[in-house]
Structure 1
């Protein structure tokens, strides 16, 4: 099944701890083809968005963060869902010379486009990366047309 023209390559749910940032990077590198021009940018954005979810939302207080990678006609879409931040939503912080607060500027600079959507108390941050021809599987994903989280990309379809 496709969701708004996108299909899921994989989804992973991780505990809201710092070590999960490295695990998210490994997951994304394992899911993407070697030599993909956008590989490093996509992995960097994944790292930033997972780190932000853990640092700034309930995910980092005993919660979880879910990372999804979807593919569609000419693009990859990264989606990171957190456990909520009391109604606060991600934004690009103005440059103030400090080392913190740069995460969403990195996301904005490295992705073709990005945004977020509320999912109840949760927030799903997404970023898109242009590619050449692509293909994927038929799992359901995190995209707006299919809001159900897939527990694992390796589940066999039930018939």
Structure 2
């Protein structure tokens, strides 16, 4: 089960028409789906990629071309594909200068992805790229051992909540309520054993803020290192 309750990272596809106004819609949809998948850290890069792949169809195949966006997991990577019907106009890497007004699209894709490529078929081509997520597995998440332990707890907490966990629509809100129930029960347990619940909350909040800050610093440092050394 993923870090977002009841939402599996199943492949999805969306037909679209290669029009400039469609690019913003594709970016919004990408943000929504990756957010539901719990992959907030790759949203910006994924939006850049879908913008460039869709814009390539507009520029090199033609406005109004029918196309399809496909998003899936490839191991621990997010795989983004754009399919169109033209097998002649192939995207290429151009070593464009920083001041160039065009030609930098696939260079940007190259910079933020692990790899990209083009596959030709008899009646269509598919341009794809794959983004690293840092997940331990395709079904995992980047929350670490603490998040894993809580999900194991919430997955079977409260009987009725367990059935609602798999409900789909509104699942995030349902599981949030289950998490609050767990916190309340823990506070009752502390009080029943003569402990100060408010003090425990304050200590937990302080520890959480310190760990969250440390995680953010490490993630920023890792991104800075990766920006100067991207593996292909």
For the pair shown, the structure with the greater C-alpha radius of gyration is: 2
Mapped pair 1:84 → 2:86? yes
Task: State the Cα RMSD in Å.
Answer: 2.1
Contact 1:113/1:127 (8 A) holds in 2: yes
Query: Greater helix share, 1 or 2?
Result: 2
Equivalent pairs counted in the alignment come to 127
Query: Greater strand share, 1 or 2?
Result: 1
Q: Which residue pairs with 1:23 in the alignment?
A: 25
What is the Cα deviation at residue 37 of structure 1? 1.6
Q: Which residue pairs with 2:40 in the alignment?
A: 36
CA distance in 1, matches of 2:90, 2:28: 26
CA distance in 1, matches of 2:39, 2:14: 23
Structure 1 residues 79, 8: CA separation in 2 closer, same or farther (over 3 Å shift)? farther
Instruction: State the 4+ residue runs in structure 1 displaced beyond 3 angstroms.
Output: none
Q: Which residue pairs with 1:50 in the alignment?
A: 54
Q: Which residue pairs with 2:113 in the alignment?
A: 111
Q: Could you say which structure has the greater relative contact order, defined with CA pairs below 8 angstroms and 6 or more residues apart?
A: 1
**What residue ranges of structure 2 are gaps of 5+ in the alignment?**
1-8, 140-232
TM-score when normalising by structure 2: 0.50
| 1:45-64 Cα distance to aligned partner (Å, 9 max, x none) | 11111011111114x2x321
What is the Cα deviation at residue 16 of structure 1? 1.8
Q: Which residue pairs with 2:15 in the alignment?
A: 13
**What residue ranges of structure 1 are gaps of 5+ in the alignment?**
1-6, 136-159
3-state SS of the aligned residue for 1:101? coil
